[in-house]
Homo-oligomer: A and B are copies of this chain.
Amino acid sequence: MAKAPQNAISPTREENFPEWYQQVVRAADLAENSEVRGCMVIKPWGYGLWEQIQRQLDAWFKATGHKNAYFPLLIPVSYLEKEATHVEGFATECAVVTHHRLELKDGKMVPSGELTEPYVIRPTSETIIGAAFARWVQSYRDLPLLINQWANVMRWEMRPRLFLRTAEFLWQEGHTAHETAEEAMEETTKMHGVYERFLTDHLAVPVIAGEKTEAERFPGALNTFTVEAMVQDRKAIQAGTSHFLGQNFSKAAGIEFESRDNKREFAWTTSWGVSTRMIGTLLMVHSDDDGLILPPRVAPTQVVILPVTPKPEHEAPIIEACERLAAELGAQSFHGDAVRVEIDKRDLGGGVKNWEWIKKGVPVRIEIGPRDLENGSVALARRDRTPKDKQFLPVAEAVSGISGILQDIQDTLLVRAVAFRDENLVEIATMEEFRKFFTPKNANQPEIHGGFALVHWAGSSDDEEALKQELKVTVRCIPKDPALRGGPGTCVLTGKPAEGRVVFAKSY
């Protein structure tokens, strides 16, 4: 009997997808649970990935005219209450600060100095930023106001999962105010487009971009636009959202301005955000049974050089060759940045080190051993290929070709993810098919099911709720791509005329 191929991650995706996910996070050394309920520690490799995401997105925000600022962590409860739907949406998951000191009592430190009004740790900042905007905006000349904040936020999660759903997470939240509804809507769709392109081009994660139905909107928004990724268990992850808030928050906060025709008007506002959840998303989209696979554009290290020194006398010349190569590779550029190279000089077995880097998902590994040194060549392995697949290249070719190799890996990841998504995005015409589609195919993995169902839909929020209860599926979005949206048809559930199709899926 042939021996099954060995994999670095156990269980495999096929055996137990949720547990595989946890094991990849651990094996790649991205993050870990902390003692604080639902809060994670983001380890250097995971944080390095976030730094790349942050830097690259930040450049896009600035290029589209936004400026960063910083607003208080704490929000008075009375602020949250100003927008009724909003406070309802967040009340059940707020960390509440009630005291401002600790006091020794019976040998124990206990809260003391009760606050007259409690604060919540921001779950999102519409209300506190709205209060600042109300001070800053006086006239139409102060508009548009285009602000972004990089911050931590907190939502008390009952079933936390590293990166995907944690009590505290890192994110950016854009908040803008405009003279007219049209301009605010233009901003909302512009930033929706930025997220779509960022996920596609930088994370190699194809998404379905579209609008949320009423039931799935952000609490207090008039419209919510989303980008939905399909991960390898065929569920959806909402990877970013952009909200058209109308005048709801400007009325609640009093963001009023004198218009061009000297009237007092309320501003039209938007908000939009993505978070560390994107790390969980890219992991679930790209990784395999050997660990993480990082898209080169956001990999903290794009190329790792592994010196192979079987005998002590090899060490000096090999290390020297590695350093020369690192300098040459680092002088190459990839998407405008210097190629990020690291030499792993640790005194560990070559196999151990090689596997560590495979599990961490570094796009390119380059080994240099005594024979390579003699031949003036290197052994290059790509993370998008199998672990043993090595190319032997002359040094000069590895150097001049590195940017092309990284781009080819980036493209390969996207092509694969698109193919997987398309394979599992199915047009469905009847409820019988719909139910079958969302029924688990594998008894061991009740979560694995068909994928994304594209159906004509004219149901109500109550209808959506009923399907959510029955099949754990929700409308992920009304797709903006006309090819997906299609033309009029008959609602799969109600039989009523439907304007077009929507995407249903199970989701994280």
Contacts and interface: CB of A to CB of B under 8 A. Distances in A.
A374 B492 CA distance: 72
Contacts of A181: none
Contact of A67 (B48, B100, B120, B156): B48
Contact of A94 (B42, B76, B80, B101): B101
B69 A43 contact: yes
Contacts of A104: 91
B51 A68 contact: yes
Interface stretch (A128-136, A182-190, A281-289, A353-361): A128-136
B67 A119 contact: no
Given A51-B68, A96-B102, A99-B96, A74 B36 contact: yes
Given A42-B70, A131-B35, A97 B95 contact: yes
Interface in A444-475: none
Contact of A96 (B50, B101, B135): B101
- Kindly state the interface size class of chain A when it binds its partner: 35 or more
A72 B111 contact: no
A101 B91 contact: yes
Interface string A93-116: 111111111111000011101000
Contacts of A135: 32
A132 B102 contact: no
B168 A35 contact: no
A77 interface: yes
A40 B70 CA distance: 8
Nearest to A87: B109
A94 B98 contact: no
A147 B358 CA distance: 23
A94 B99 CA distance: 8
A70 B41 contact: yes
Contacts of A72: 34, 36, 39-41, 168
A152 B102 contact: no
A180 to B, nearest CB: 19
A50 B104 CA distance: 37
A71 interface: yes
A96 B98 contact: yes
A70 B170 contact: yes
Contact of A98 (B51, B91, B98): B98
Contacts of A42: 69-71
Given A36-B76, A80-B109, A168-B74, A101 B156 contact: yes
Interface in A138-179: 147, 151-152, 154, 156, 168, 170
A73 B44 CA distance: 17
A104 B51 CA distance: 40
A17 interface: no
Given A48-B67, A68-B51, A36 B100 contact: no
Interface in A47-75: 47-48, 50-51, 67-75
A387 interface: no
Nearest to A111: B96
A118 interface: yes
Contact of A102 (B41, B91, B109, B154): B91
A81 interface: yes
B47 A74 contact: no
Given A94-B100, A102-B96, A41 B68 contact: no
A121 B120 contact: no
A386 interface: no
Given A35-B76, A47-B68, A100 B109 contact: no
A69 B300 CA distance: 13
Contact of A70 (B47, B68, B74, B119): B47
Given A81-B109, A95-B74, A87 B68 contact: no
Given A39-B72, A73-B168, 20 more contacts: A35-B76, A35-B131, A36-B76, A36-B128, A41-B70, A44-B68, A44-B69, A47-B67, A72-B168, A73-B154, A74-B95, A74-B168, A91-B102, A94-B100, A95-B119, A96-B111, A97-B98, A98-B99, A98-B111, A121-B121
15 contacts: A35-B131, A36-B75, A36-B76, A39-B72, A40-B72, A44-B147, A50-B70, A51-B68, A74-B168, A77-B102, A77-B109, A80-B102, A97-B121, A98-B98, A99-B118
Q: Across the A-B interface, give the 9 residue pairs with the lowest CB-CB distance, nearest first.
A: A39-B72, A44-B67, A96-B99, A42-B70, A91-B102, A36-B72, A100-B156, A96-B111, A98-B98
